[in-house]
Amino acid sequence: DAGVTQSPTHLIKTRGQQVTLRCSPKSGHDTVSWYQQALGQGPQFIFQYYEEEERQRGNFPDRFSGHQFPNYSSELNVNALLLGDSALYLCASSGGKLTDTQYFGPGTRLTVL
């Protein structure tokens, strides 16, 4: 049974560019959450998708947007990249209940130059 998978593993972009990160949830999970983890910090919640809708959003600007597909996989898009967007982006999947355990993928390391 595959766990949560994310692609790509690493990504290098320049300021002002746009990036798309992808996540496939664990089998049987229908909820996907995205987190940003800056170096030396704990993960910060970006948003959560359930039934193809954004269910909750953290304190991130509109440059951060997402999508969930009918097969429950998800994308995170970041526009107009800033140097401060450099971080490890983690995807987590869970069942539909809000208290279900979130299982994390290995992350995508984004570097903005």
Partner 1 sequence: AQSVTQPDIHITVSEGASLELRCNYSYGATPYLFWYVQSPGQGLQLLLKYFSGDTLVQGIKGFEAEFKRSQSSFNLRKPSVHWSDAAEYFCGAGFQGGKLIFGQGTELSVKP
Interacting residue ranges for partner 1, rule: CB under 8 A: 4, 31, 33, 35, 40-45, 48, 50, 55-56, 58, 90, 92, 94, 98-99, 101-107
Distances in Å between the Cα of 100 and the Cα atoms of 10, 13, 32, 56, 60 are 29, 34, 12, 15, 24
| Residue number, 26 or 112, with CB nearest to partner 1 | 26
**In whole angstroms, how close is the CB of 57 to partner 1 at the nearest point?**
9
17 vs 27 by CB, closer to partner 1: 27
Query: Length of the chain in residues, anyone?
Result: 113
Minimal distance, residue 71 CB to partner 1, in Å: 20
Strands (E) in the chain, as ranges, are: 5-7, 10-13, 19-24, 31-37, 44-50, 53-57, 64-68, 74-78, 87-94, 103-104, 108-112
Least distance to partner 1 from the beta carbon of 21, Å?
13
Closest CA to 52 of 35, 67, 33, 34: 67
Minimum CB separation of residue 64 from partner 1 in Å reads: 15
Closer CB to partner 1, 26 or 81, in the complex: 26
Nearer of residues 50 and 64 to partner 1, judged by Cβ: 50
